[in-house]
Amino acid sequence: MFTSLNRSLNPYLAALIITIVASVVAYCLVSKSARTGDWDSTPVLMRQPKPITGESGTPGWNIYENKRYGFTVEYPSDWFIRTSSEPSFDRVIFSNIRKPSETSEESLQNESVFVIDIQRDANPQVLDIEEWYREFSTRGFSSEPDSEVRTTVGGRPAMRMEISTIGRDLHFYTFHGTDVVDLIYKISQPKFKETYEKMLSSFKFTSPETVIDTSGWETYQNEYYGFEIKYPMEWETISVWGGVVVWNKSLTSMPPGHPPMSFISERAYTDSIYFHPYEKLEDVEEKFRGPTGEKLIDFSSDCRAERFAERASYDCFLDADFQGGGRLILFLDTAGYLFSISDRLQNTYSNAILSTFKLIHGKQFDTESN
């Protein structure tokens, strides 16, 4: 009888053992995905079993790490993570329920949703965050943004956008290389407001931005106006109109026998950086007025006050109506001469070139003293 009973239980024990083994394997696979940030085209639901505590974390919270895109973010340990991959972007959704409902007034009361979208290679030119935002960020939205503010996320420049949807969305755009990272949550959920803000403040990049080594670059000096810059060996400079134009000659070469002035007129506002000292001025804004006194640049809306080369400056982002648009840096040197720097490239290399700009003692000082 005992033997007969054991035989009758064997099939049930085998089924139970198979179920347990399958559950353990599935758990291990999901836990690995949660730890490494691996992505899959199929949405994955997961919880991390071990909450973090200590100075760098919040008790009762976990850390999500995405090694592919190099970032971490903290989230409540009882929330779920859902990941997915689309043709042009990858997405991570944090929520207090397994599968968030379609957004509605009812779902906003009890369902939390914090989203991180990674738009792959959405900024191939490595534009400044504000320039990229103006050109690309609002495409596809059904309404105009309610507010737009420059800020920082994860220690990097970012744009904060508020837009009217069901529940009013907040978007925080920042860069990681040529990828655009968009952190999104709703501000009309007071129940989750503090949690969302903690998650945003915990967001960190774990891999550094691309750094360009300028130590082996060529040096250009303008002895009269007293400034110098460095530029890559595959780039070229031409002195014209009292300034200098710098461009990548491997991408844009001057045709043989082509007059430099004509070439600069054709190319200076498309794929170059133009450094130009103007005459002596008391006020930067007075240079940019039309014949009847109208403003050619709206310094209150198109520019922000910054410091460049240790001088107070205007950093402006202009549309194509003004000399082809792009970035324009304006400041007065110690002798009162206006410097204008037009950056039509606005990428990693142009930023590196601008970072090498220095003011030195120029002959205009000696002229002024005689």
Q: Is residue 18 situated within a structural domain?
A: no
Per-residue pLDDT at 201:
92
Work out the percent of the chain whose per-residue pLDDT is above 70. Answer: 69
Domain check: are 360 and 283 in the same one?
A: yes
> What's the domain count of the chain?
2
The amino acid at 139: R
Task: Give the end of a domain, one of 205, 226, 260.
Answer: 205
Q: Which residue has the tokens 């999901």?
A: 30
Element at 53 (helix H, strand E): none
Q: Is residue 153 situated within a structural domain?
A: yes
* pLDDT > 90? residue 76: yes
pLDDT tens figures, 5-48: 333 445 555 555 555 545 444 444 433 333 333 323 344 444 44
Per-residue pLDDT at 62:
92
Per-residue pLDDT at 229:
92
Domain check: are 281 and 197 in the same one?
A: no
Q: Is residue 14 situated within a structural domain?
A: no
Q: Which carries the bigger pLDDT value, residue 214 or residue 368?
A: 214
pTM comes to 0.49
Domain check: are 189 and 279 in the same one?
A: no
Domain check: are 351 and 263 in the same one?
A: yes
pLDDT tens figures, 259-303: 444 544 444 445 678 888 877 766 777 777 777 777 778 888 778
What is the average per-residue pLDDT within 319-342? 76
Work out the percent of the chain whose per-residue pLDDT is above 90. Answer: 19
C-alpha 16: how far from chain center: 51
Domain check: are 235 and 196 in the same one?
A: no
* pLDDT > 80? residue 161: yes
146-160, 167-181, 189-203, 305-319: least confidently modelled range:
305-319
Q: Is residue 6 situated within a structural domain?
A: no
115 neighbors 184 (Cβ within 8 angstroms): yes
Q: Across the strands, what pairs with 181?
A: 118, 174
Q: Is residue 272 situated within a structural domain?
A: yes
d(CA 221, CA 226): 7
Nearest alpha-carbon partner for 330 in 274, 368, 268 = 274
134 neighbors 152 (Cβ within 8 angstroms): no
The amino acid at 367: T
Mean predicted lDDT score pLDDT of the chain? 74
Domain check: are 288 and 321 in the same one?
A: yes
Task: Give the end of a domain, one of 149, 173, 205.
Answer: 205
What is the average per-residue pLDDT within 146-150? 88
Domain check: are 39 and 184 in the same one?
A: yes
pLDDT band at 183 (very low <50, low <70, confident <90, very high): very high
Q: Is residue 131 situated within a structural domain?
A: yes
Per-residue pLDDT at 366:
58
Domain check: are 258 and 161 in the same one?
A: no
Task: Give the end of a domain, one of 177, 205, 233.
Answer: 205
57-61, 226-230, 342-346: least confidently modelled range:
342-346
* pLDDT > 90? residue 53: no
Domain check: are 193 and 91 in the same one?
A: yes
Write out the residue range of the structural domain in which residue 121 sits: 33-205
CATH number at residue 95: 3.40.1000.10
Domain check: are 67 and 184 in the same one?
A: yes
